Structure 1
Amino acid sequence: MGNHTVSGTPHEMKRLNKRIILQTIRSKGKISRVGISRETTISRTTVSQIIDELLAEGVIREVGVGDSSGQGGRKPIQLAIDDHAGYVVGIDVGGSSITMALCNLGGEVCQKQTIPTRKPLEILRFFLDVRRFLEELSIPLDKVVGLGVGAPGITRFHDGVVISAPSLEWENLPLKERMEDYFQLPVYVENDVNLAALGECWLGAGREKRHVIMVTVGTGIGCGLILNGELYRGANWASGEIGYMLTDADAVERWNDPIYAGFGFLESKAGGPAILREYHRRLDLTGTAMDKQTAKDIFDAFREGDPKAAEVIGEASRHLAAGIANVISLFDPEVVILGGGLFGSADILLPIIERTVRKLTPMQPEIRISQLGDLAGAVGGGALVLKEHDSVFQGVL
């Protein structure tokens, strides 16, 4: 872990040392007091005091003994995080579904539920759905550290206001304040794609990476940016809103055709509803019956040789690939993670994106499909609580 020099009040120093010690135990899996002191250069006395507190609080546990030193002597007691000492709840509010997950401190998903999103999403109805999930948990509610909530749009993290979520018809909604009043639990609110990026970096395709781009394509298109190991939110909490990206220079003057009010150019060309709309427009010109009702239907038709589906998906894929290439050129990531409902058809989309990136950018990051799938945002909600909540559990990630 390297040499850690801390300054400040004794309370601040103790908090920082506790976090460093927890992170060291997590990264090593199990380690002795002497090993922690050696890894962190925190004095053995301080390490021992903090370890005794963490043991009393139940955050860590003794897990046997390790090998003694070459000089013999007592074998050191090994310590590990107790993953069941606390739990976090992640809630991913999407344009078409809401996914809720209970995770322990190790990221294991202990319970989960997905329900359809009712539009417009009335806040009380949403609260009742979350309350029902909490009431059905197999653990006492006092073991829940907090709730991490993702909304599909621009969110202001510091006070938890959803500035704009067009697919839910939410605008300037003080979600954090209202949820904390209702549930009497700490609540953290973040953009849903940012949460998905955090989830993938905790447990999925971005694990142990420090420069990660997560692109999700579903109802809309979003991008989460992990830069040098930290979530980048932007000056106005709107970083990664690549749905507004222009991938056609002519659109600067002539485009005025959003798929939904408030949606941008790219998501109106390459999002799921946009693909369906364009397919129907082209069929309408030929008078053909419109039996396809989802973007998945269009991809299935593509696989069956439907020429109109091939035209529509080809055009949408080119717009999407160009947008991803632009983001790679800006941020030079180690890995790009692709998620969201549309990447259920990764067999079609991924080769086009890889080919475009190779052609258009000097950087060649690894491009991966999300490992967590529909759970990425909910798992990321749990990760957000563990990163941000000022409690004994802060630092176990």
Structure 2
Amino acid sequence: MANQTGRGGLHQHNLSQVLQQIFNNQPISRVEIAHRLNLNKSTVSALYNELDQQGYIHEIGAGSSTSAGGRKPMLVKINGRYGYTISFDLGFRHLHVIANYLDGRIIFQGRIQLQQHDLQEVLHRINDQIDRSLAADTTQQGLLGIGFSIHGVVAHNQIINSPFIDMGKLDLADYYQQRYHIPVLLENEANLVAIYQRDFGQATNEANILAISIHRGIGAGIILDGQLYRGRHGQAGEIGRSLMFTHDTDDQQYRKVEDFCSEDAIIEQVQHQTNRANLDRRTLVQLNQAGDAIVQASLNKFSRSIAKVIYNVAISLAPTAIYLSSPLIEAIPELLTAILAEIKALGLQTPIQLTTPANLAPLLGCCALVTHEVLNLQDYELSFTDLVN
């Protein structure tokens, strides 16, 4: 939120607080807002009327009267039909998309197969999804903002590094801002999983959480004191690049963590040992179900290795809760059981839960990020939990 001082700054702060209270506690009355914010009723009514004129809120009828009787208070909630956001997860083989009303309710979601993983195909698919959403739109203000989940390093709303797609000289945010004249936000996929858990998920009351995303690589989203921690140049949480020593340290024989316990690492190990080509997650799951000894040995090694990674990160950051996001673990639930057993043996007491479905978390995290932006509530907590469950 822009820094403001004086009377104008106070007014904007109070307006934001009223909007936040409506978003987080809907349906709610003006009396309850005044009570929660310790503001007088006339001030809240003026702010309420301003939000009503802007179209952000919607009255739904009278609530229950108090024990003292009197007029029943009018209840209000966020006007979800004010507009919508659309978010994309730029994966390796697929493009995932979701559209949400302003209050977070899902309009549609989809998964698009990428035939040729090049920039022009990706842009064509994205443009097609946006144009389709605009053609079917029935909201008052239409498309309010666009978000992108990036499997790579993002800083200052630009892709610094991504192993999946070469953007060349294209500034993705600027491209879509110029095309649609609305806010466009880019964020790291693991960071968005952390935002999802903070705003949509089970961590709405947790100030310090860690979201570990295990896909082709390994990354971590870090929430400290309720805020996303990105670090220098957006590189916080790049735990897959941490080093693991494989022999005597004097020989300096070491490899990256993701070379041992990412999804790609497991697939590569199995391919090497079985001479299979084009192995993917689905085939890996099928081989495990069939009792393939090589696959099961690799998965056991994965469980032990990822448990150590989680332990090391947890004792460094001391989060109150840890959330794992992994399509592989989601497809093979016994992996989570094995990981938790390993972590318990290491003595870590931090609660650990699996984020499901893994492909939806970054998209909803992206929705939350963009919604904060379009409501100008970047520094205010928003809870979507009761809106989508």
1:21 shift after superposition: 0.9
1:1-397 alignment, distance < 5 Å: 8-117=5-114, 120-122=117-119, 124-137=120-133, 138-139=136-137, 142-156=141-155, 158=156, 160-170=157-167, 174-248=171-245, 250=247, 253-255=252-254, 265-284=256-275, 290=276, 293-362=279-348, 364-389=349-374, 391=376, 397=383
1:103 shift after superposition: 0.7
TM-score (norm: length of structure 2)? 0.88
1:172 shift after superposition: 7.3
Give the Cα–Cα distance (whole angstroms) in 2 for the partners of residues 251 and 108 of structure 1.
54
- The answer on whether the counterparts of 2:330 and 2:358 sit within 8 Å (CA) in structure 1 is no
1:170-223: CA deviations, max 9, x gaps? Answer: 477532122212333210111111112212332234343332211121211111
Unaligned segments of structure 2, at least 5 residues? 384-389
Give the Cα–Cα distance (whole angstroms) in 1 for the partners of residues 4 and 298 of structure 2.
59
The DSSP-based 3-state class of the residue aligned with 1:146 is strand
1:288-313: CA deviations, max 9, x gaps? Answer: xx267213323332332222112221
Give the Cα–Cα distance (whole angstroms) in 2 for the partners of residues 292 and 125 of structure 1.
22
Give the Cα–Cα distance (whole angstroms) in 1 for the partners of residues 130 and 179 of structure 2.
13
- The answer on whether the counterparts of 1:247 and 1:323 sit within 8 Å (CA) in structure 2 is no
Give the Cα–Cα distance (whole angstroms) in 1 for the partners of residues 111 and 239 of structure 2.
26
Aligned length: 375
The DSSP-based 3-state class of the residue aligned with 1:162 is strand
- The answer on whether the counterparts of 2:285 and 2:332 sit within 8 Å (CA) in structure 1 is no
TM-score (norm: length of structure 1)? 0.86
Aligned to 2:386: none
Q: Which amino acid aligns with 2:97?
A: M
Give the Cα–Cα distance (whole angstroms) in 1 for the partners of residues 101 and 24 of structure 2.
16
> In the superposition, relative to structure 1, how do residues 172 and 384 fare at CA in structure 2: closer, same or farther (>3 Å)?
farther
Percent same amino acid among aligned pairs? 25
Give the Cα–Cα distance (whole angstroms) in 2 for the partners of residues 368 and 251 of structure 1.
35
Q: Which amino acid aligns with 1:143?
A: G
Aligned to 1:287: none
Give the Cα–Cα distance (whole angstroms) in 2 for the partners of residues 131 and 79 of structure 1.
35
Give the Cα–Cα distance (whole angstroms) in 2 for the partners of residues 118 and 383 of structure 1.
30
Give the Cα–Cα distance (whole angstroms) in 2 for the partners of residues 86 and 251 of structure 1.
59
> In the superposition, relative to structure 1, how do residues 229 and 208 fare at CA in structure 2: closer, same or farther (>3 Å)?
same
> In the superposition, relative to structure 1, how do residues 208 and 139 fare at CA in structure 2: closer, same or farther (>3 Å)?
farther
